[in-house]
């Protein structure tokens, strides 16, 4: 019997999903690969705080 993955989808308002847009914009402009394992880069911290307050 095959293992089945369980997936859930959570709706998030656009206004509280700004970090996704900031990351996408960063990825498009930098054109290279980055990995963050622990601490978010300083330019992303304010967006994370804002999204957590709105979400």
pTM, two decimal places: 0.59
Rg of the chain on CA atoms, in Å: 15
* Residue 15: partners with Cβ closer than 8 Å, 6 or more residues away: 54
Instruction: Tell me the pLDDT band of 55, cut-offs 50, 70 and 90.
Output: low
20-26: Cβ within 8 A, 24+ apart: 22/47
Give the pLDDT score at 53: 83
Residue range 6-42, pLDDT digits in tens? 778 777 777 778 888 888 888 889 888 888 788 888 8
Distance of alpha carbon 38 from alpha carbon 21, whole angstroms: 20
């Amino acid at each position: 019997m095959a293992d089945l993955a369980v997936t859930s989808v959570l709706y998030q308002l656009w206004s509280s999903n700004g970090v996704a847009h900031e990351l996408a914009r960063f990825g498009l402009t930098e054109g290279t690969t980055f990995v963050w394992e622990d601490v978010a880069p300083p330019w992303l911290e304010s967006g994370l705080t804002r999204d957590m307050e709105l979400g």
